[in-house]
Structure 1
Amino acid sequence: MLTAVARPKRSLAELIAAIESSSIATGEQAAEALAFVRDGVITGEGPTTAGRVHFSRSLDVRDAEWCARILTARGVNETAVSRQEAQALFQINEAAAERSDGGKFDDLFAKAILHHAVSASGLSVPSRTVALAPETSIESWAPARSNDINVEVLEWIAAEMRGKRRSSRTLMTILAVLFGAAAPLVHSLPQLADLGM
């Protein structure tokens, strides 16, 4: 179930300064910064849309760049993508009815969700700047097949995706690999049937 990432309490400038300059930034701060992107996508207004024409419910290249900047900031780069950040990305994905980003957000979204899933399953992941880079193939760092994928993580992802009007083809491919890796667990997860897995 999608738990809403709260409205930001600090300014975007404060959050960006914290995650780009602090060595102890948190996923919570990054998720709060991503909430500004989500709000800009929903309304077409706000600090992430300043200085350009931005229609509501649309996601463009600059929105994708904001997400990449936030997710790969120095302060969070060496940590795994957090559940809060992953939830914020699910919200951005769902809010964006129109896309004009050339697939940049979709690629980042899928890699970030996988980064979270692999790490939350206790497996090692590379730094975000490596794992989330457009030129990095997922196959270069993601487990091809692993029986170590955490059931709770799979259930959470399935719940986040169920009933959504928009799904990421890249994310669906990755999840097919993850769910395939956890094939013995599939029968115990009724949510997966809803996703056509």
Structure 2
Amino acid sequence: MSAPNTKPAETLVALQPSCRKSAAHALTIVRDGVITGEGPTTRGRIHFSRTLDADDAAWCACILTAGAVAHQPVSRAEAEALFEINDAATERSDDGRFDDLLAKAVAHHAASESGLPVPPRTVALSPDTDIASWAPAHAKKIDAQMVEWIASQMRGKRRHNRTLARMVATVLGAAALPLSQLSNVLDIGMM
């Protein structure tokens, strides 16, 4: 995936990660742009604070699928940075791309940390790839601590990511839990 076309060349270089740590840092730059409406990821366009638009989602995808990290699992720091972006954005104009990317990145991290094989990021995070085509289908294969970590990231949030909740419920196998128990784990109530 290429970076948004409206970005100056120096921004593209600054956000090109060399490792998962620098990818996580680049995602915090996107987060800061979402929060303030200013910064290197918003230059050359009108961007309102607390708004996540298609360019912001494209920046995240570009960072997460950069050549230096494309064949490595999504790290905890990268996933946490995506959760921070999700929390920072009170308005969305990205047609759901960020929610899809967040759910897939979290599933990629959870599966790899549980010792399960994952496809390259360029495949797993693609909007053209169905998450169910590669993500684990049985809860017993995902480490319980991973499921709890995901649930802790989702608890008490003002904006619920339906894609992520659905991923937890179906792909991680939490659907096997009684609905009342799933609701308590994720604090999602009636979605």
TM-score bracket, normalised by the shorter chain, equals 0.7 to 0.9
Q: In structure 2, which of residues 86, 92, 95 is the aligned counterpart of residue 99 of structure 1?
A: 92
Tell me how far 1:26 sits from its aligned partner: 2.2
Identity of aligned residues (%): 58
* Structure 2: distance between partners of 1:193 and 1:130: 28
Q: How does 1:118-133 map to 2 (within 5 A)?
A: 118-133=111-126
Q: Who is 2:75 aligned against?
A: 82
Displacement of 1:194 in angstroms is: 2.9
**CA distance in structure 2 between the aligned counterparts of 1:79 and 1:128, rounded to whole angstroms:** 7
- Distance, in Å, in 2 between the alignment partners of 1:193 and 1:129 is 28
**2:46 matched to 1:53?**
yes
Whether the 8 Å contact between 2:36 and 2:50 is mirrored in structure 1 is yes
User: Counterparts of 1:141-156 in structure 2 under 5 Å?
Assistant: 141-156=134-149
The one-letter amino acid paired with 1:41 is V
How far did 1:152 drift? 1.0
1:115-194 → structure 2 map (5 Å cutoff): 115-177=108-170, 178-180=172-174, 183=177, 192=185, 194=187
Distance 1:13 1:101, change over 3 A: closer
Aligned pair count reads 179
Which consecutive unaligned segments of at least 5 residues does structure 2 have?
Answer: 1-9
Residue pairs, 1:14-53, within 5 angstroms: 15-17=14-16, 19=17, 25-53=18-46
Instruction: Say what the alpha-carbon RMSD is for the aligned residues.
Output: 2.4
Q: Could you state the TM-score of these two structures normalised by the residue count of structure 2?
A: 0.85
Structure 1 residues 38 and 190: CA distance shift in structure 2, 3 A: same
Q: Distance in 2 between matches of 1:42 and 1:172?
A: 24
Within 2, Cα distance between the matches of 1:137 and 1:154? 20
Distance 2:14 2:106 in 1: 22
Q: Distance in 2 between matches of 1:193 and 1:166?
A: 13
Structure 2 counterpart of 1:16, which letter? Answer: L
SS at match of 1:170: helix
TM-score scaled by length of structure 1: 0.83
CA distance in structure 1 between the partners assigned to 2:187 and 2:116 by the alignment:
27
Deviation at 1:12, TM superposition (A): 5.6
Question: Do the aligned partners of residues 48 and 195 (structure 1) sit closer, same or farther apart at CA in structure 2, a change above 3 Å counting?
Answer: same
Stretches of structure 1 lacking an aligned partner (at least 5 in a row): 1-10, 20-24
State the match for 2:106 in structure 1.
Answer: 113
